[in-house]
Amino acid sequence: MNAHVSQGSVSQGGWPVLVLNADFRPLSYYPLSLWSWQDAIKAVFLDRVNIVAHYDHAVHSPSFEMQLPSVVSLKSFVKPTTHPAFTRFNVFLRDRFTCQYCASHEDLTFDHIVPRSKGGQTTWDNVVAACSPCNLRKGNLTTAQANMHPRQAPFAPTVHQLHRNGRLFPPNYLHESWLDYLYWDTELDP
């Protein structure tokens, strides 16, 4: 189908679609589970998702018109992973994008609590987010030798902990139709 868009132009990266699991929770919070509008429409035609909400824009061909979905839910429940992947991004997310030595949010890298040269492993329990100046200052020393101690001990987070931290860093773009499906399990103001 050659799709054309009414009411303005829809770019390849425009009109993102929030993807919910079959229980109407986002598949992930950070990064937020988003698909392109093209992938969402393909999933609709393959009968893999239900459209929950629409944008005020449509795609059309000579014989067909469809409003662009803004929120879809999967028809089949996808069991969330219980153990998050050990990645640089997830270390930063666990540590809330904050240097564990000086609380800076700039120029982040990661630091081995026990340096690799002293037998330290690259694992959840030995790696923390650190800004480049602190990482250079600590160098090849242990935290005791450098007299630099992390604000929190490194740990292997749960998916729930990463999702909770991810909610502290909302994406740059939140469409109003998404708000009913995001953060619904956070405490309400009195």
Amino acid at 23: D
Q: What is the predicted pLDDT for the residue at 32?
A: 74
Cα separation, 189 vs 62, in Å, equals 49
Structural domains of the chain sorted by starting position, each given as residue range(s) with its CATH number in brackets: 4-79 (no CATH), 81-166 (1.10.30)
List, as one string, the DSSP characters of 55-116.
EEEEEEETTEEEEEEEEEEESS--PPPSS----HHHHHHHTTT--TTT---SSEEEEESS-G
The reported pLDDT for the residue numbered 173 is 65
Residue whose C-alpha is closest to residue 150's, from 168, 135, 166, 170? 135
> In which residue are the tokens 């009195």 written?
190
Q: What pLDDT is stored for residue 174 in this prediction?
A: 67
Reported as a single tens digit per residue, the pLDDT across 85-135 is 899 989 999 999 999 999 999 999 999 999 999 999 999 999 999 999 999
| CA–CA distances in Å: residue 50 to residues 66, 70, 79 | 14, 11, 18
Q: pLDDT band at 71, cuts 50/70/90? A: very high
Residue among 98, 103, 97, 110 nearest 138 (CA): 110
**Average pLDDT estimate for 40-49:** 96
Q: Which two tokens stand for residue 39?
A: 């992938």
Does the pLDDT value for residue 33 go beyond 90? no
Residue 175 has pLDDT above 80, yes or no: no
Query: Considering the entire predicted model, what is its pTM?
Result: 0.66
Residue 56 clears pLDDT 50, i.e. is over it:
yes
- Output 3 or 98, whichever has higher pLDDT: 98
Does residue 107 contact residue 133 with C-beta atoms inside 8 Å?
Answer: yes
Contact call for residues 182 and 163 (beta carbons, < 8 A): no
Tell me how crowded residue 123 is: count the other CB atoms within 10 A of its CB.
Answer: 11
31: tokens are 């990064």
**Which residues on neighbouring strands pair with residue 26, listed in sequence order?**
20
Whether the predicted pLDDT of 67 surpasses 50: yes
